[in-house]
Amino acid sequence: MSYSNQPVKSKPDSVATDMSDRVLGNLSTAILMLDENLAILFSNQAAENLLQESSEHMREKCLTSMVANGTELAAIVTTALSTDQVYTLRQLQLIVPGKNEDVTVDVTVTPILGTRQALVEFTPMDRYLRIDRDAALNEHHEITRQMVRGLAHEIKNPLGGIKGSAQLLEKELPQQSLTEYTDIIIKETDRLTSLVDRMLGPNAIPEMQPINIHVLLERICKLIELEADDTYHFKRDYDPSIPEVEVDPGLMLQALLNITRNAMQFLVNTDNPQITLTTRIDRQFTITGKRHKVVLRIDIADNGPGIDEDIREHLFYPMISGRPGGTGLGLSLAQSIISQHRGMLEFTSIPGDTVFKIYIPLEQLS
């Protein structure tokens, strides 16, 4: 066997560059390559998704034209290039023109030695921040629910005694006209007992069965249309490919009805009131620390004034209401029911666009 003394030829630069582009292109992290003038030389698929633009459209455009708040980002790119040092910026709120929500990202800028170019990596943090926030809120809500349940039981015991005493007193009254007062006592104790039962939430274990979620949503539309006047408009945006989901139809109907009715009541003084019901499939979604391959997402949106900042952190607590005369139990009960289905309820709200999002695991597809 003989060995050649000839040197091994390296691959042409164009081939190496093509391989580098393919490697960067397949990364799940959003990557931009910039020159010293912050012009975009390269962007991968993840960057296209993040910035909602094609690579072709972004090429040679300035970074600051792609990101509305690009000044802070441009400053660290310039600093990294001038110092040849890697810079990281944590939890930057990235404002992308035309995108409904800001995106929270960690940014790492790496200068490419020997060139006047920099590699910018964006790691979206919204999912991780949401998981931490939801876990904390879920723990807080669970503690609050236990406190409310304990308080509710303590209230129910004397109410039963008051009602029983009023009924005995009613039998001993010398005049029939005096029963008017005992009737008031009995009716008010019944009303308070009913209120306490609603605070306690559903006690029965959900009886799961497969159901088409759109059948429930259509029933809710009919119920709300009967309550509302003719100015209200319902918009449906259903995904017909969604399979049947395992839920307790009665409980889930109550939860979705509470959320939709809440939206309707907030639209009282809104011109052209509209409620939009949307169904979608989301993949690789985490609920209270457990990752689900497939979940059903139901969006219930309205074009009302939005939810006051003062109550947003406590909106799902019992007795918290954003409207006059509200009991504050509808959303609390809805959250409790959805939690029984191993799901999650969250919301976003700005004036003219409030969206409650319900996530239910589709275990049969997991």
Where exactly are the structural domains of the chain?
14-124, 128-200, 209-365
SS3 121: strand
- Supply the pLDDT for residue 94: 79
Please give the structure tokens belonging to residue 119: 């590699």
- Supply the pLDDT for residue 20: 52
Contacts of 135 (CB under 8 A, 6+ apart): 288, 289
Q: What is the CATH number of domain 14-124?
A: 3.30.450.20
State how far the Cα of 100 lies from the Cα of 294, in Å rounded to an integer.
24
Contact status, residue 68 vs residue 162, Cβ threshold 8 Å: no
Please list the rounded mean pLDDT of every run of 10 residues in the chain (366 residues): 44 46 64 90 86 86 82 86 87 72 81 88 68 57 63 75 87 84 86 71 77 94 85 92 92 90 87 93 80 91 88 67 58 84 89 93 70
C-alpha torsion 142→148→154→155, nearest 10: -160
Q: How far, in Å, are 51, 286, 299 from residue 127 at the CA level?
A: 17, 8, 18
Q: In DSSP terms, which residues pair with 359 in a beta bridge? A: 297, 344
Q: What is the CATH number of domain 209-365?
A: 3.30.565.10
C-alpha torsion 86→91→96→100, nearest 10: 160
What does pTM read for this prediction?
0.56
State how far the Cα of 190 lies from the Cα of 195, in Å rounded to an integer.
9
State how far the Cα of 218 lies from the Cα of 209, in Å rounded to an integer.
18
